[in-house]
Amino acid sequence: MKKFYVLLFLMAPLVLQFCSSSKNAAKIKDSKITYTANVQSLMVANCSPCHFPPKGNKKAYDTYAAVKGDIDAILNRVNRNPEDKGFMPFRHPKLSDSTINVLVQWKNKGFVEN
Distance between CA atoms of 19 and 84, rounded to whole angstroms? 32
Nearer to ligand HEC, 22 or 63 (CB): 63
Closest distance to ligand HEC from the beta carbon of 81 (Å): 14
Residue 74 CB partners (closer than 8 Å, separation 6+): 61, 67, 88, 103
Nearer to ligand HEC, 51 or 106 (CB): 51
Nearer to ligand HEC, 29 or 77 (CB): 77
Asked if 39 interacts with ligand HEC (CB under 6 A), we say no
With the C-alpha atoms ordered 102, 104, 109, 112, is the resulting torsion angle positive or negative?
Answer: positive
Neighbours of 107 (CB within 10 A): 17
Nearer to ligand HEC, 12 or 54 (CB): 54
Distance between CA atoms of 100 and 10, rounded to whole angstroms? 35
Q: Quick one: which of 8, 25, 36, 58 contacts ligand HEC (CB under 6 A)?
A: 58
Interface residue list for ligand HEC (CB under 6 A): 46-47, 50-51, 58-59, 70, 73-74, 77-78, 86, 88-92
